[in-house]
Structure 1
Amino acid sequence: MQKGLIAAMLLAVVVIGLGAFTRLTDAGLGCPDWPGCYGQLAVPQTEEHIQHAATAFPERPLEAHKAWNEMIHRYFAGGLGLLVVALAAIAVWRKQHRFIAIASVVLIIFQAALGMLTVTLGLMPIVVMGHLLGGFSMLALLFTWFMLRQRPITKPQRSGRWLWVGLLVLSTQIALGGWTSANYSAISCQGLPLCHEAWSDDYQIDAFHPLPERTGSNYEFGVLSHEQRKTVHVTHRIWAGVTALYLFILALSYIQRRHSDIERGRASRLIFVLFTQIGLGVANVLWQVPLAVAVAHNLIAAMLLLCLISLILAHYQSATKLKPLVQKETHYGEVEHA
């Protein structure tokens, strides 16, 4: 079970990276249908299949490299879905962490539905952002499941409200990053730290309308005005500052002596990943969103989320009164205590 969860987490990281790569290479509609590609299970390659694709989708000529980007992402996402369902079935059968197992299946089904809607609704920004958040949530849920198997939490004796506020702040920043990407706003601000001097004069709150009016057959390459895209981008930057300051202060408070060594260690890792993410954000601006840096920016955001979750778990686990245990699983999935 542990190895299966590790494999699922690694696969979830790959899927997040491939999702970012697909968005950044403008391959979100590389296959205009779902779940196949131009009516095939793979990208059309023969002359007959290519001709059929041109006839069936005359408005969307086949671009093989974009289609492969999209289909490879789908293959890995499908593999993750099957693995999650298998792990959940084992967990339910063994009566271990059934709630989180069932939640993971519900989430993976919802994520698959968002993947379908991403294509069928023509890259609608709210759906694209939701799909990104779903991927992050899937990774976070698998990570939590894995960590709780290492050491469960009984009734918490300590309040962790500031940690939960930090999780809300970080989640908001990830959502803003998704909205920025979904609306093609990544290069709308080229100065540092906040666009140009008169950015506030162009600030338009309607840039965050969940259902922007579509001007063409889809939302590809964005439908917002330049001023609206600047609004989205600068808001992402402002909240990035808020997020960085809050998480930095939060982590510093856990490096104090009154906390356990585990908590201090995880807080230190949180600070390291936080500054790495800040550096990647600055690099994106200075170098005009190079593909490798932009993908890394997505992946490090996921790592930052996991670091914060691990700190939350350490906070409650250090307050859980448990005797040191050496655990091993029997072939029935029960835990023996040495």
Structure 2
Amino acid sequence: MRKIFNAKTIQTVHLSTVVFALIVVGLGAFTRLENAGLGCPDWPKCYQNWIVHPRITTPALTHDASYKAWIEMIHRYAAGLLCAGIFYLNMWQNRSNSMILRITAICTCLQAAFGMWTVTWKLHPLAVMPHLMGGMMITTLLTVDYFQRYASQNNTQLIPKSIHRYLHLLFMVVWLQIMLGGWTSANYAALVCPDFPLCQGQWTVPIQHFIQGFSAPFGFQNYEGGVLSGQGRIAIHVSHRMGALICCVIVGLLIHQVAYYRNKLPQELIQMTGQLSILFALQIILGVLNVVWTLPISTALMHNLIALALLIRIVTMCTSYSAQSPPQTIHRQRSFHAD
């Protein structure tokens, strides 16, 4: 049986799992944007059935409810297939080099739990936001593991400490910014500021509004549509914009450092930085368009996926390079390990 599951087959499955994870994240974002998170009021079944079919959806449900049920169950089916792919990889990959996959499997179990709580807790923000972040984390881990196994050379390239530090700082800030985006989505705060760059005609938000915005709500039967006050949602939205501004500053500093050391850096790092800059500029444009165009599904979906692409690019850059002690010399440090 192991001859059937040879190295080439496993690599193909791994790549397919990465691509499928991207699709599942997109489906999750689409489900959220279509307000279909409660399209199926029960879990794991949908209206007490495993498959949504005409006997269930008509005439018992309205057309809109039927549509949302289909969206939710397609997302669940896809997530189930992704889980199968991840556990397959854990079963057949080389056990001596599968720590990332093991972490991914644990995250997948937690993701399934948060997917259940998203439904049973009626879209409570404390279930929705971790569920959104879990999808990002799983896809990033799968991509990094694939990159390290099949797409990278067996060496660690050394770069100046300043660039290395900025990369890791950018990772932390972007991760926090994605969390802010998840909190914005979970509390339905994306449309609370219809203007840009101001929000409701103002530059500042009182401190007490931030306290409202970042206090988890409790005691409600259903959290669909959001239950926070308008002031709290404004504070959340403004925080997300402030996070984007901080990201701009750090990306600018990283670009400056790469330009300063450009004659001593690996060409791949310069190219990756260029790709990162393009993705980040596109993300900012999409964020603005989400406001001025009143959150169209196409741009909002791309905003989610570009955020994931940014995270993956930053993590692959962080894992591909190490900080060198003397900043004047760039060379490669070979790592020898048994195949």
TM-score, with length taken from structure 1: 0.86
Cα deviation per residue 1:191-240 (whole Å; 9 max; x = unaligned)?
1113134352555122344521343x210000011111111111101111
Opposite residue 65 of structure 2, the aligned amino acid is: E
Candidates 46, 51, 62, aligned match of 2:55? 46
Is 1:259 aligned to residue 250 of structure 2? no
Structure 2 counterpart of 1:212, from 191, 203, 217: 217
Cα drift, residue 25 of structure 1: 0.7
| Map of 1:244 onto structure 2 | 248
Matches within 5 A, 1:164-313: 164-198=168-202, 200-202=204-206, 204-215=209-220, 217-255=221-259, 256-313=262-319
1:129 maps to 2:134: no
Q: Which position in structure 2 is the counterpart of 1:16?
A: 25
Are 1:33 and 2:45 counterparts? no
How many equivalent pairs are there? 316
Post-superposition offset of 1:152: 6.5
Checking the alignment, whether the CA contact within 8 Å between 1:207 and 1:232 is kept in structure 2 is no
Gaps of 5+ in 2: 1-9, 324-329
**Residue 315 (structure 1) aligns with:** 321
Give the conservation status (yes or no) of the 8 Å contact 2:156–2:334: no
Q: Is the Cα contact below 8 Å between 1:266 and 1:310 reproduced in 2?
A: no
Q: Quick one: distance in 1 between partners of 2:331 and 2:192?
A: 46
Residue 109 of structure 1: CA displacement? 0.6
- The 2-side partners of 1:316 and 1:127 are apart by 36
Q: Taking every aligned residue pair, what percent have the same amino acid on both sides?
A: 35
Q: Is contact 1:114-1:127 (8 Å) kept? A: yes
CA distance in 1, matches of 2:230, 2:300: 21
CA distance in 1, matches of 2:198, 2:140: 31
Q: Residue type matched to 1:234 in 2? A: V
CA distance in 2, matches of 1:70, 1:283: 26
136-145 or 204-213: bigger deviation: 204-213
> Aligned-pair distance for 1:250?
1.2
Higher alpha-carbon deviation: 126-135 or 314-323: 314-323
| Matched residue type, 2:216 | L
Asked whether the equivalents of residues 166 and 250 of structure 2 are also in contact (C-alpha less than 8 Å), the reply is: no
1:117 paired to 2:117: yes
Query: What residue is the counterpart of 1:151 in the other structure?
Result: 152
Question: How far apart are 1:307 and its partner, in Å?
Answer: 1.4
Aligned-partner Cα distance in 2 for 1:166–1:319: 24
> Is the deviation greater in 246-255 or in 136-145?
246-255
Conserved? CA contact 1:30–1:62, under 8 Å: no
Counterpart of 1:57 in structure 2 is none
Kept in 2, the 8 Å contact 1:126–1:210? The answer is: no
Q: Which runs of 4+ in 1 moved over 6 A?
A: 152-158
Return 5+ residue gaps in structure 1 as ranges: 55-59, 326-333
- How far apart, CA to CA, are the structure 2 residues paired with 1:246 and 1:90? 40
SS in 2 for 1:200: coil
Secondary structure at the counterpart of residue 164 of structure 1: helix
Q: RMSD of the TM alignment (CA)? A: 2.6
TM-score normalised over the length of structure 2: 0.86
Closer, same or farther in 2 for the Cα pair 1:137/1:153, shift >3 Å?
Answer: farther
Q: CA deviation at 1:290?
A: 0.4
Choose from 78, 81, 87 the match for 1:79.
Answer: 81
| Contact 2:157–2:333 (Cα < 8 Å) also in 1 | no
Cα distance, 1:165 vs structure 2: 1.3
How far apart in 1 are the matches of 2:276 and 2:12?
25
- Does the Cα contact within 8 Å between 1:38 and 1:44 map onto a contact in 2? no
Q: 1:278 & 1:258 partners in 2: Cα distance? A: 30
Conserved 8 A contact 2:101-2:141: no
